[in-house]
Amino acid sequence: MNKYFLGMLAGLCLWGCGSTSKQQENAGQEQANTVTFSQAQVKEALDFSVQQYLGMAKHLPDSIMPRTTNTKDGSLRTSGTSWWTSGFYPGTLWYLYEASGNEQIKQEAIKRTAYIEKEKHNKGTHDLGFMLYCSFGNGYRLTDNEAYKEIMITGANSLSTRFDETVGCIKSWDHGKWKFPVIIDNMMNLEFLFWATKATGDSSYYHTAVKHADTTLKNHFRADHSSYHVIDYDPETGEVVQKKTHQGFSDESAWARGQMWGLYGYILCYRETQQPRYLDQAIHIAEFVLNHPNLPEDLVPYWDFNAVDIPKASRDVSAGSLLCSALLELSQYVDTDKKTKYLEAAEQLLISLSSDKYRAKLGENNHFLLKYSVGSMPHNSEVDVPLTYADYYYIEALLRFQELSRKS
């Protein structure tokens, strides 16, 4: 553990976990003693990211957002504002402005955020939290621009129209064979609704978020605390019709990014409600992930914990960046042993993600920061490519780590 965490962690056991074998404990302690990610490395990573994203801004046409890289020719693949990832690029820009104070980054953030405003009326997606809260939410937090607040309130109203009291959830998709599909990813959009209650005083948003979280807690998780990707409900009765893992190896497998959506989602639910059941669930998920025998030594997950070709299976860096950011927050809510374990794991992830293995060189990778994420392996979509949300949660993790280090 580096010197910036020594004050925070003095007297704590390194990497303690009662559910592991003694051999695993010793290996974990040995690894923990070698973990170090300094404030100089944080600064280098953030400085690099500012320059990389300034390069992206120079080459990106107006009114569209970077999405990934085309696997056939390596060219930049973009999206319109209605695509679910549209908010991550402006959101990352806001984070980089927060880190650097760079005025060029700020102006690019303002410009790209403005393009998404029309999505505040979009009632056909559950992803308005990703789209609006990551962009306008960070912008509002950093600028106090009241126009951003009003845009988000309108967006929260649009998102709320997808909630069904009988099912107790926000509907995820309107397409395909499903009756009322709810995906684990949807947990991430609840933060938007919690914010809306604080911004307006209207408790209905809070009620929707809590009801969705509780229904998901009841139906999405297996006995080992791993989650399905999709639960399909009967909208007439609210009963579960089927349980699927649409983007994983199999219906009963643990799709890596899905586990991280759930982990992050229940952490934020605990933060906003202080309900112990949400913290308990977050801990259960974190323990499932960190104790899994198929979690690699560098902690960057394979795309599915049950992929048949491990250790040759593709990694999912987006799952790694999500895990890193989530663990940093979770560490602040748990007992000392778990706090140490989660901080050590997050620090190891920052080391891994910032290494040449996963982080691009300046000017390469179409100016994305991280390489080797997986969108949907079963659909051969966005495999071993950069993804904009991997960058977003990586920068968020760097900022969270920096803040915790300063407080220690």
Whether pLDDT at 232 is above 80: yes
Give, in order, the Cα–Cα distances in Å from 219 to each of 212, 284, 365: 11, 15, 39
Domains of the chain: residue spans and CATH: 1-72+293-408 (1.50.10.10)
Whether pLDDT at 13 is above 60: no
Average pLDDT, rounded, for the chain: 93
Whether pLDDT at 24 is above 60: no
pLDDT band at residue 3, thresholds of 50, 70 and 90? very low
Whether pLDDT at 26 is above 90: no
**pLDDT number for residue 89:** 99
Mean pLDDT calculated for residue range 307-314: 98
**pLDDT number for residue 30:** 40
**For residue range 43-71, what is the model confidence (pLDDT) as tens digits?**
999 999 999 999 999 999 999 999 999 99
What is the share, in percent, of the chain residues with pLDDT greater than 70? Answer: 91
Please state which of the ranges 17-31, 94-108, 250-264 shows the lowest mean pLDDT: 17-31
Mean pLDDT calculated for residue range 182-189: 99
pLDDT band at residue 408, thresholds of 50, 70 and 90? confident
pLDDT band at residue 34, thresholds of 50, 70 and 90? low
Which active-site residues does the annotation give?
127, 185
Whether pLDDT at 6 is above 70: no
Whether pLDDT at 9 is above 60: no
Q: Which residues belong to the annotated binding site for substrate?
A: 127, 185, 245, 257, 261, 376
pTM of the predicted model, to two decimals? Answer: 0.92
Whether pLDDT at 162 is above 80: yes
